Structure 1
Amino acid sequence: MQNTISFLEKIDSLVWGPPLLILLVGTGVYLTARLGLLQISRLPLALKLVFSKDSEEGAQGDVSSFGALCTALAATIGTGNIVGVATAIKAGGPGALFWMWVAAFFGMATKYGECLLSIKYRVVDENGQMSGGPMYYIERGLGNKFLAKAFAFFGIGVAFFGIGTFPQINAISNAIDLTFKVPIIVTSIALTIIVALVTLGGIKSIAKVSEIVVPFMAVFYVLGALFIMVRNYTLLPETFALVIRSAFTPAAAAGGFLGASVMFAMRNGVARGVFSNESGLGSAPIATAAAKSNSCVKQGLISMTGTFFDTIIICTMTGIMLIMTGAWKGDLSGAAMTNSAFESGLPGIGSYIVTIGLVFFAFTTILGWNYYGERCTEYLFGVKGIKPYRLIFIGLVAIGAFLKLDMIWILADIVNGLMAIPNLIALVGLSGVIIAETNLFFKGEALESSKSDKIA
């Protein structure tokens, strides 16, 4: 087993080496510059669109724009926000949180671009459902079938062996066992049955569940974290100072933590940030393609807020808890580490907040990634491949609780990185389309505003 883990670690280091980190963050930096800091200047409009009722009559799509965002958030707000942040800070020190912020800031521009392209190049499949995402804009926009198929292949790999199953199932079963003393096998059976019932209903079923669960779970978790932060507000300045300081200097050895280089903090922060918000990974555009929308720019703006909610808000809450309470310096790891932080900040109920949040977060991630993998399967094998895919996915959910945590995270990192590469190449190659669509939309908005002013 140890030899297998060592081998996977070598592959992981190769995949997540400087070239991918540069491509990942560099794509975000490039789009940010070309779009004129759109993630700042257009964030108020994006948030307004998220919380406004759908007004596009006759728009094509399977679910509402909000439903598509919730499905994407269902897949992104998962163990990455609780276990992933803990893993990043444990390995890379408090500075890893800073690099998560950097990745998220530039990732908002990446998320905007990939979701804009998803609406522009989507198609209707044989079942009458909307299909879209990187495999379609790589083929139809970039004209490269090889990269499109590579993305779809790795997308199925992530659904089966990465974000979609093993980390989520493992986190749920261990958290419930730790807090409520429910045997792992019982949780695994119950979860498999529930996942099967929801996912067999397709995107509309997944979106309905996500629209209810995602807002509730996010607010529940954030309020719990905010309460602890308010109670310990005197520690906040030093906590943020430590994050910034550690991002640029090696962290000092303390407790079970053996010290981390700046590069290691950067690597862990960026990798876990991508695991959490999935910007550049190419997953969110698959859900976005199902949205009832006639404007690729509007849907891109709505989708962009997913990275903001996921990392800038929720991951930050987790990270601050871990650093503020000193849990990052202890011997615990993963969900147990976050559990310890919340329990010390809010004795008696802190661990319940983490466990309940984790269960909801991870469960909805499973639902979202089931859909992503299904669309990738449909692209490669047609609609006939959907049923076998669902059965395999449900089977993997059933065994996910019994795998070792170290191997799970390494395997997830590898397939995530491989999935991101074709998508990032496409984003750079199609950046001209992203810029042109954006300029056209906002030029039209400006003209409409000018006409209104003249009439007034």
Structure 2
Amino acid sequence: MKGFENFIDILNGFMWGPVMLILLVGTGIFLTCRTRGLQFRKFGLIMKETVGKLFTKTEVKEGSLSPVQAMTTALAGTVGTGNIAGVTGAIALGGPGAVFWMWISALFGMCTKFTEVTLSVRYREKNDKGDWVGGPMYYIKNGMGKHWTWLGTLFALFAMIAAFGIGNMTQVNTIATSIGTIFTEFNPAMKQNLQMIYLIIGIVIAILTALVLFGGLNRIGATTEKLVPVMAIVYIVTALVVIFTHVPMLGSVFHDIFVGAFNPEAIGGGMAGTVIMTVMRAGIGRGVFSNEAGLGSAPIAHAAADTDHPIRQGFFGAFEVFADTIVICTMTALAVLVSGKAVGFYGKSAGTDLTISAFSTTFGGKLAAIIIATCIAMFAFSTVLSWALYGTRCAEFLFKSTKVIKPYQIIFIIFIVVGATMKLSVAWTVADTLNAMMAVPNLIAVLALSPEVIRLLKDFFSGHPNCTTENLQSWAQEEGGIQNVRTKERAAE
């Protein structure tokens, strides 16, 4: 077992090493150049097409999600413990400057996820239940050709297994231990009963997950549509309270972020000897881990969107990265830095303990523990729901049948209870490694199919000149691409 742990640690270090980070960020830079900086020059349109439609009620067809539901389902999988523990870990390792590189990775990652989501809708197909299915495995198979199906199979295999770790056991374990801290905070004697508390929490989460999953795709979408905005607002508001109670510190914090990005030693406070590469790796690595741009998971949810053009749903992918990293992760970073608690953690490992310590400067220790535990519980539970969908879709692709859905969901639910009561240090590393391995086939496909995204962009911004009734029928029946366009109106134009 010790030898296996050492092997996994080495493999994980390689998979999340400089080569992978360069590949992820490099892909974002390449796509940004190819689209002429779409996420910057069309930022207003992206906000209009996403934030502007958050409260628009749309009729959702059976077997599909509304564009907003598809985004919230993907955000549910993206916004998780990485937004709280991951950000503090980056700051502890790389100092304030890590936040700057986290922003850089997100700005280019917006274009990567835009491309992933666009391709997912472009090359999706319907299963025998009538549900839209898509993701990297489908745009590899349908976009790159049958000779590349093995690459899609690899992605599906990695993602299906990773779902039990990164999207299940580790998330539930985080919920259980976070709630456990509340009990011990109020009554230290409860430490003796923590295992029983963890088991009860696991059973409750398993029941809630079953109620959502067995209701099908539409129930997952309806649940995340309500849960994601609530959890985001609760966390952002409480983080803003912390920031505003330390508002005089904001100027020096931003100074430290920008100076520390290029000269970490100038910050002091335990940063002596830190090199720029350490800061970059901490910020970029945690940024990618949080927003998942390039990993290929979120496009699986977006493929179910009932949208009239792949590009329009792609905008939701870009917004997703912006909301996750530029907004939510920044709230964590600023709250931690203005509190002054980060200094004592530089060069050490840190997670939710640093976040709780920062929030306690405003809310006190007990209330801070409750706030963070509540936010983590919502973040992690939403991640469980999304990854259940991702794992199911990958299993369906691998076994080429929807009959595998129910057995996979039952096994997934059982692992929730297991995850709540186990020590998961190895499981975290295995899941993290598989998460990185998913990125390789996905990025190959994204780069190979980028010309199709450029073609779709030209089509979208030129007013759909080819959207005649005949062409739309051909796209819908043969290629599974552009769907539900207002045929008569566009044909008349």
In the superposition, the TM-score normalised over structure 2's length comes to: 0.85
Letter aligned with residue 147 of structure 1: L
Deviation of residue 444 (structure 1)? 1.5
Unaligned runs of 5+ in 2: 185-193, 467-493
State which of 194, 202, 220 in structure 2 corresponds to 1:188.
Answer: 202
1:312 matched to 2:326 = yes
How many angstroms apart in 2 are the aligned matches of 1:60 and 1:386? 17
Deviates more, 1:80-89 or 1:341-350: 341-350
Query: Deviation per CA, 1:165-203, whole angstroms, max 9, x where unpaired?
Result: 133112211111112447322222221221222122222
Letter aligned with residue 97 of structure 1: V
State which of 193, 208, 219 in structure 2 corresponds to 1:205.
Answer: 219
1:154 matched to 2:158 = yes
Alignment of 1:30-45 (within 5 A): 30-45=30-45
Deviation of residue 59 (structure 1)? 8.2
Note closer, same or farther for the CA distance 1:247–1:85 as it changes in structure 2 (3 Å cut).
Answer: same
In the superposition, the TM-score normalised over structure 1's length comes to: 0.91
How many angstroms apart in 2 are the aligned matches of 1:386 and 1:39? 36
Q: What root-mean-square deviation, in Å, do the aligned CA atoms of Structure 1 and Structure 2 show?
A: 2.5
Letter aligned with residue 353 of structure 2: A
How many angstroms apart in 1 are the aligned matches of 2:152 and 2:351? 34
CA contact (8 A) 1:61 1:291 kept: no
Task: Look up the match of 1:168.
Answer: 171
1:226 matched to 2:240 = yes
Deviation of residue 61 (structure 1)? 5.9
How many angstroms apart in 1 are the aligned matches of 2:39 and 2:359? 31
Task: Look up the match of 1:105.
Answer: 107
Deviates more, 1:94-103 or 1:215-224: 94-103
1:132 matched to 2:111 = no
Unaligned runs of 5+ in 1: 448-456
Letter aligned with residue 365 of structure 1: T
Task: Look up the match of 2:92.
Answer: 90
Letter aligned with residue 361 of structure 2: S
Deviation of residue 250 (structure 1)? 4.2
Task: Look up the match of 1:412.
Answer: 431
Secondary structure in 2 matching 1:349: helix
1:421 matched to 2:433 = no
Note closer, same or farther for the CA distance 1:103–1:344 as it changes in structure 2 (3 Å cut).
Answer: same
Deviates more, 1:133-142 or 1:59-68: 59-68
Alignment of 1:275-290 (within 5 A): 275-290=289-304
CA contact (8 A) 1:12 1:413 kept: yes
Task: Look up the match of 2:250.
Answer: 236
Secondary structure in 1 matching 2:64: coil
Task: Look up the match of 1:81.
Answer: 83
Deviation of residue 425 (structure 1)? 0.7
How many angstroms apart in 1 are the aligned matches of 2:333 and 2:99? 6
State which of 354, 360, 363 in structure 2 corresponds to 1:337.
Answer: 354
CA contact (8 A) 1:54 1:65 kept: no
Note closer, same or farther for the CA distance 1:61–1:44 as it changes in structure 2 (3 Å cut).
Answer: farther
Query: Deviation per CA, 1:218-250, whole angstroms, max 9, x where unpaired?
Result: 011101111111111111111122222222234
CA contact (8 A) 2:60 2:66 kept: no
1:357 matched to 2:375 = yes
Note closer, same or farther for the CA distance 1:327–1:77 as it changes in structure 2 (3 Å cut).
Answer: same
Alignment of 1:49-60 (within 5 A): 49-50=49-50, 51-52=52-53
How many angstroms apart in 1 are the aligned matches of 2:32 and 2:465? 21
Task: Look up the match of 2:69.
Answer: 67
Secondary structure in 2 matching 1:281: coil
CA contact (8 A) 1:78 1:358 kept: yes
Secondary structure in 2 matching 1:48: helix
Deviation of residue 146 (structure 1)? 1.2
Task: Look up the match of 1:15.
Answer: 15
Deviation of residue 92 (structure 1)? 2.9
Query: Deviation per CA, 1:148-171, whole angstroms, max 9, x where unpaired?
Result: 101111111221122x01331122
How many angstroms apart in 2 are the aligned matches of 1:250 and 1:44? 34
How many angstroms apart in 2 are the aligned matches of 1:259 and 1:363? 39
State which of 97, 115, 118 in structure 1 corresponds to 2:117.
Answer: 115
Note closer, same or farther for the CA distance 1:401–1:60 as it changes in structure 2 (3 Å cut).
Answer: closer
Task: Look up the match of 2:182.
Answer: 179
1:346 matched to 2:363 = yes
Deviates more, 1:288-297 or 1:401-410: 401-410
State which of 392, 397, 416 in structure 2 corresponds to 1:374.
Answer: 392
Deviation of residue 108 (structure 1)? 0.3
Task: Look up the match of 2:190.
Answer: none
Secondary structure in 2 matching 1:165: helix
Task: Give aligned pairs, total.
Answer: 446
Letter aligned with residue 381 of structure 2: F
Deviates more, 1:330-339 or 1:42-51: 330-339
Secondary structure in 2 matching 1:292: coil
Query: Deviation per CA, 1:311-368, whole angstroms, max 9, x where unpaired?
Result: 1000011111222223332477322221111112332633322221111111101000
How many angstroms apart in 2 are the aligned matches of 1:229 and 1:18? 33
CA contact (8 A) 2:128 2:402 kept: yes
State which of 146, 149, 167 in structure 2 corresponds to 1:145.
Answer: 149
Larger radius of gyration: 2
Secondary structure in 1 matching 2:431: helix
Deviates more, 1:195-204 or 1:143-152: 195-204
Note closer, same or farther for the CA distance 1:45–1:268 as it changes in structure 2 (3 Å cut).
Answer: same
